[in-house]
Amino acid sequence: MTFTTLNTIIRDILDILRNSNVADSEVISKRRIEDKIHQVRALLLKRDLDKGKKPNPDYIQEIGNIKVIPVEMAGEDITDLGLESGANVYRTELQIPKTIDLNFSSGFMYIGNTVGDEIQFVPEGRSKWQRYKKYTSNDKLAFLRNGYLYIVNPQALQYITVRGVFEIPTEVARFVNPITNQPYFDYDSKYPIPINMLTELKTIIIQSEFKIELSAKTDVSNDSANNPQ
C-alpha cells in the first residue's frame, strides 16, 4: 500500500484543517490544495537540489516509451533549427512536462533509447555546432524547444525514455504505458517526494495558505448543504 499518494496528501491536509470532520459539502477546493502541494514540493526540492546534492531518487519520475517522430513528419524544417538539411532529427510527439529549474544542472536525469543508450541533453545552441567537432560530431544529442525534446543524429529511433524532476508531477499522466495501457502517473501513484519532507510540506501549506480556513467554522453534517458549525 502506498501512503504518499497525491490523494492521501490532499486528504491529510483536509483532515488537519477540519479536525477530521470533512463533509461532502466541504468548501475548500481539493484542486486548490493540489496546486499548493505542487508549488511547495517544487520549492522544497529546488532548495535542496540547489545545494549541489545528488537528487534523491524519490524526486524522480520516469516516462517510458515516449514516441518520437522525424521533424519532417511534424511539419518542421530542419534548417529552422539551425541544422543542416538531411540531418537525422526527431521530435517527441507530445510536449515533455517542465522540469524544475536547477542552478547547477538540468532537471533531466536521463534521456535514452529503449535499449539503454544515453542521449546527452545540451542547450539548443550547442546542437548547431556539434557537427563541426572532430571527435564528437556523431554524438547523440537532445535539446528542448517549445516544450518538445529534439534528438539529433541518432540511428533509427521510435521511442525514448526520460527520467526527470518534473515541476508538476501530474503532467506525467499525459503519457500512457503502451504495455499496461495505464498512465505513468495518477492520484493513487506514489507522489514524488520523500516521506521526511511531507511534514514540512503540510506545515507550510497549512500555515501560509490556509490560516483562515484553519480557524473558520466548517460544515460537519454530511449533506449537500453548507451549514458551518
Helix spans in the chain (H): 6-17, 30-49, 124-129, 198-209, 211-215
Is residue 49 pLDDT above 70, yes or no?
yes
Q: Report the alpha-carbon distance of residue 43 to residue 180 in Å, rounded.
A: 33
pLDDT at 225 over 70: no
Q: What is the reported pLDDT for 200?
A: 95
pLDDT tens sequence across 119-170: 999 887 655 555 544 444 567 889 999 999 999 876 789 999 999 999 999 9
- What is the distance in angstroms between the CA of the first residue and the CA of the last residue of the chain? 35
Q: Domain of 80? A: 61-182
Is 108 contained in some domain? yes
Strand-pairing partners, residue 161, are 112
Whether the Cβ atoms of residue 126 and residue 136 lie closer than 8 Å to each other: no
pLDDT of residue 18: 74
Q: Judge whether 187 lies within some domain.
A: no
Query: Do residue 42 and residue 118 come from a single domain?
Result: no
Residue with the larger pLDDT of the pair 140 and 19 = 140
Query: In this model, does residue 195 exceed pLDDT 90?
Result: yes
**What pLDDT shows up at residue 17?**
80
Domain count, the chain: 2
Q: Is residue 140 part of a domain?
A: yes
Q: Is residue 172 part of a domain?
A: yes
Q: What is the pLDDT of residues 50-73, one digit of tens each?
A: 888 888 999 999 999 999 998 876
More confident residue, 25 or 140: 140
**10: closest CA among 198, 219, 194, 223?**
198
Q: Is residue 77 located within the same domain as residue 165? A: yes
Query: What's the grid cell of residue 127?
Result: 546542437
Of 150 and 220, the one with more pLDDT: 150
Same domain, 121 and 208: no
Q: Which pTM value belongs to this model?
A: 0.82
Q: What share of the chain is helix, strand, coil (3-state, %, to 5)?
A: 30, 20, 45
